[in-house]
């Protein structure tokens, strides 16, 4: 394999464009090809990466022996099949979130990656954001003490996505707000807790805002989800996600809080991540803004991907973690359906 890895982007929507920028900024990659069924998306892409090859269907790009790595930026129902086909074709894969439609598919990806001996990573780029990395570093240095509980929320007031039509169709998306945006904050909060093994979940989902969609649009997925997850060793995580909900406009946005025995971390503030420690008897504490690293977001994600491919690192969000993420999501959906808490069994 040449030192410069040739990357192919499969799916030219917003995430595909971010992956391409990430490869270009990370160094050591060449953005070499795009596949998308929509010609205008390919044309836009080629205007930014002249010389890249273009293909209509994903399978055509996968057949190109010059491509070393691919980004799977397709609708959720195509993640597993395309990722597995890419692994069989000898490519390393960066697959968009959610890892798959369900646990079964995520396990199939894990198996295929092991068989092909190639890297699979999932594009949960929040892990690689500036405040998020700063928070992780502070926790790893022990500033928070034992970080035992986290709260992650992404509560949009109005923002049901449609994309090219599949986001609100369960058979193609696997779910709604939970699997789409809940997965980001679930992943981040879980990461900051140190990725303990999930053992159970309790969740409730809603679908209340179908009336805000155009008349011809049929939605059969959740537009809000609320959950509590338990982990081996006693840690816990609260998750809230909405595409649409009535709330104070100031609530729009994301929250990620980590509660530790010595300190708390608020990841999203106007000052970036802030650590609060030395709590006095009244509950006052001194804020310590945490310095973010220089390389962030998709560039940092792709840098890590490259280090994993070169054998210098192990994926922090690889095939195994993808299975665990899907176990948590699936357990929340099952709990919402049954009204009971759901046990998550060992892999
Ligand atoms: N990480 C993030 O922040 C983030 C943000 C948005 C979307 N996503 C994820 O990215 C994925 C794509 O989302 P999107 O918003 O771009 O959706 P989209 O509907 O806008 O785009 C999907 C694209 O896939 C193309 N496509 C479908 N089948 C294809 C095939 N067989 N071969 C080639 N191209 C094909 C379509 O032509 C379309 O351009 C989803 O899994 C979504 O969850 C992630």
Q: What is the distance of C-alpha 50 from the center of its chain?
A: 29
Q: Which among 25, 74, 70, 17 has a CA at the least distance from the CA of 46?
A: 17
Name the residue of 16, 55, 73, 298 whose CB sits within 8 Å of the most ligand 1 atoms, as the mutation to test its pocket. 73
* Mean residue pLDDT across the chain: 97
Separation CA 6–CA 301 (nearest Å): 16
Q: What is the pLDDT of residues 121-157, one digit of tens each?
A: 999 999 999 999 999 999 999 999 999 999 999 999 9
> Could you tell which of 8, 9, 10, 11 is best to mutate to test the pocket of ligand 1, judged by most ligand atoms within 8 Å of the CB?
11
Length of the chain equals: 347
Q: What is the DSSP letter of 64?
A: -
245-303, pLDDT tens digit by residue? 999 877 767 999 999 999 999 999 999 999 999 999 999 999 999 999 999 999 999 99
Confidence category of residue 5, pLDDT binned at 50, 70, 90: very high
Question: Separation of 13 CA from ligand 1 center, angstroms?
Answer: 6
Instruction: Give the distance, in angstroms, between the CA of residue 81 and the centroid of all CA atoms in the same chain.
Output: 18
Taking the centre of ligand 1 as the mean of its atom positions, its distance from the CA of residue 83, in whole angstroms, is 14
State the Cα–Cα distance between residues 164 and 72, nearest whole angstrom. Answer: 16
pLDDT recorded at residue 249: 78
Report residue 91's pLDDT band, with 50, 70 and 90 as the boundaries: very high
Amino acid 346: pLDDT: 80
Q: Which domains does the chain have, with CATH numbers?
A: 5-125+298-316 (3.40.50.720), 127-297+326-343 (3.30.360.10)
The CA 73 to ligand 1 mean position distance, Å, reads 5
Dihedrals phi, psi of 300, to nearest 5 degrees:
-70, -40
Give the tens place of pLDDT for each residue, 159-174.
999 999 999 999 999 9
Calculate mean pLDDT across residues 29-57.
97
Q: What are the two backbone dihedrals, phi and then psi, of residue 136, each rounded to the nearest 5 degrees?
A: -60, -45
Would you say 155 and 253 are in contact if contact means Cβ atoms under 8 Å apart? yes
Residue 24: strand, helix, or coil: helix
Q: What whole-number percentage of the chain has pLDDT above 70?
A: 99
pLDDT mean over 221-242: 98
Residue 347 has what pLDDT? 63
Q: What is the DSSP string of 251-311?
A: G-EEEEEEEESSEEEE--STTSSEEEE---TTS--EEEEPPPPSS-HHHHHHHHHHHHHTT
């Amino acid at each position: 394999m040449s030192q410069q890895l040739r990357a192919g982007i499969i799916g030219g929507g917003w995430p595909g464009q971010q992956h391409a920028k990430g490869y270009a900024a990370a160094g050591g990659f060449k953005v070499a090809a795009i596949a998308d069924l929509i010609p205008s998306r390919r044309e836009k892409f080629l205007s930014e990466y002249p010389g890249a090859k273009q293909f209509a269907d994903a399978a055509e790009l996968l057949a190109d022996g010059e491509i070393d790595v691919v980004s799977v930026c397709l609708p959720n129902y195509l993640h597993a099949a395309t990722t597995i086909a890419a692994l069989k074709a000898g490519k390393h894969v960066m697959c968009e979130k959610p890892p798959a439609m369900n646990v079964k598919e995520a396990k199939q990806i894990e198996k295929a990656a092991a068989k092909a001996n190639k890297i699979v990573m999932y594009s949960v780029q929040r892990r690689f954001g500036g405040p998020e990395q700063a928070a992780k570093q502070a926790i790893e240095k022990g500033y928070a003490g034992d970080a035992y509980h986290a709260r992650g929320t992404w509560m949009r007031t109005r923002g049901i996505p449609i994309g090219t039509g599949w986001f609100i169709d369960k058979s193609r998306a696997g779910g709604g707000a939970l699997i789409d945006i809940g997965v980001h904050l679930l992943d981040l909060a879980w990461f900051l807790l140190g990725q303990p093994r999930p053992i159970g979940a309790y969740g409730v989902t809603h679908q209340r805002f179908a009336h805000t969609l155009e008349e011809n649009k049929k939605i059969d997925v959740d537009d809000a989800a609320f959950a509590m997850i338990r982990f081996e060793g006693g840690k816990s995580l609260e998750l809230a996600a909405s595409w649409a909900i009535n709330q104070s406009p100031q609530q729009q946005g994301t929250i990620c809080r980590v509660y530790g025995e010595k300190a708390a971390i608020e990841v999203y503030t106007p000052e970036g991540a802030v650590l609060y420690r030395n709590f006095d008897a009244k509950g006052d504490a001194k804020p310590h803004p945490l310095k973010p690293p220089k390389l962030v977001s998709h560039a940092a994600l792709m840098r890590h991907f490259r280090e994993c491919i070169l054998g210098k690192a192990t994926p922090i969000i690889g095939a195994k973690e993808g299975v665990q993420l899907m176990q948590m999501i699936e357990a929340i959906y099952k709990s919402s359906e049954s009204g009971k808490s759901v046990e998550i069994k060992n892999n």
